[in-house]
């Protein structure tokens, strides 16, 4: 299901970005069905009622361990148990998520233009890399940063910070970097690192999450125009 975010006019002329950071779920791949199916399995396995579809959808994007604690109300121990149940189930379906139409072309064009790309996702980094490699997209990314397996690095702010640090370690200028994402978590995490965010309408965000975004785009063509001119 696609949300309807209020589209803002694309700035003219577009800015020249020194690097572009991308979210994964809801931005590059449409993973909602696989994630919510694994969440439903997790809740059932933990012996608690399975939330409705809208609530399950709200788990897509934010760090899952935090959501299991704060939204589901699990204790720390139960949240870790649930996270492991989820990962075991989701790992089987990990590669079923399709790439959103037009996004691969945007990544290809950015790469061909010499714009450094970084992935910044709250999904475990090993899983994120596997998804990109399966879809033949890893070749476009200079840096692939995600949550650490122990969840010590899991918030979007921490992941964006890590992605920027890895880019800088390679001598890449990040002074005019931009984040591309679909949730308010992407915007807030990027802003914590002084990075503006372009929000995409085809993801899982709501209109209320677009308030702090630099711009909102409704199509891959519009995103390409904003990033490349």
Q: Which residues pair with 180 in a beta bridge?
A: 22, 198
Q: Which of 23, 25, 30, 182 is catalytic?
A: 23
User: Residue 221: which of 211, 229, 213 has the closest Cα?
Assistant: 229
Active-site annotation holds for 23: yes
Spatial CB neighbours of 101, under 8 Å, sequence gap ≥ 6: 220
SS (H, E, C) the chain: CCCCCCCCCCCCCCCCCCEEEECCECCCECCHHHHHHHHHHHHHHCCCCCCCHHHHHHCCCCCHHHHHHHCCCCCHHHHHHHHHHHHHHHHHHHHHCCECCCHHHHHHHHHHCCCCEEEEEEEEHHHHHHHHHHCCCHHHCCEEEEECCCCCCCCHHHHHHHHHHHHHHCCCCCCCEEEEECCHHHHHHHHCCCCCEEEECCCCCCHHHHCCCCEEECCHHHHHHHHHC
Mention every residue, 6+ apart, whose C-beta is less than 8 A from residue 93. 34, 37, 38
Give the residue numbers annotated as catalytic, written as ranges. 23
């Amino acid at each position: 299901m696609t949300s309807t975010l209020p589209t803002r006019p694309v700035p003219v002329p577009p800015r020249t970005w020194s690097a572009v950071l991308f979210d994964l779920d809801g931005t590059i791949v449409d993973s909602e069905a696989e994630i919510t199916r694994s969440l439903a399995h997790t809740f059932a396995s933990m012996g608690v009622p399975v939330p409705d579809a809208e609530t399950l959808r709200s788990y897509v994007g934010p760090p899952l361990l935090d959501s299991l604690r704060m939204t589901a109300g699990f204790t720390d121990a139960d949240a870790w148990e649930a996270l492991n149940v989820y990962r075991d189930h989701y790992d089987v379906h990990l590669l079923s998520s399709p790439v959103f139409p037009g996004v691969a072309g945007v990544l290809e064009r950015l790469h061909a233009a010499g714009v450094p790309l970084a992935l910044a996702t709250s999904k475990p980094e090993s899983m994120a890399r596997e998804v990109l490699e399966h879809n033949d997209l890893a070749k476009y990314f200079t840096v692939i940063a995600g949550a650490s397996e122990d969840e010590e690095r899991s918030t979007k702010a921490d992941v964006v910070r890590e992605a920027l640090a890895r880019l800088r370690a390679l001598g890449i200028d990040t002074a005019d970097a931009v984040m591309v994402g679909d949730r308010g978590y992407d915007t807030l995490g990027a802003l914590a690192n002084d990075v503006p965010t372009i929000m995409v309408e085809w993801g899982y965000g709501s209109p209320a999450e677009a308030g702090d975004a630099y711009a909102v785009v409704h199509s891959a063509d519009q995103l390409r125009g904003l990033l490349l001119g």
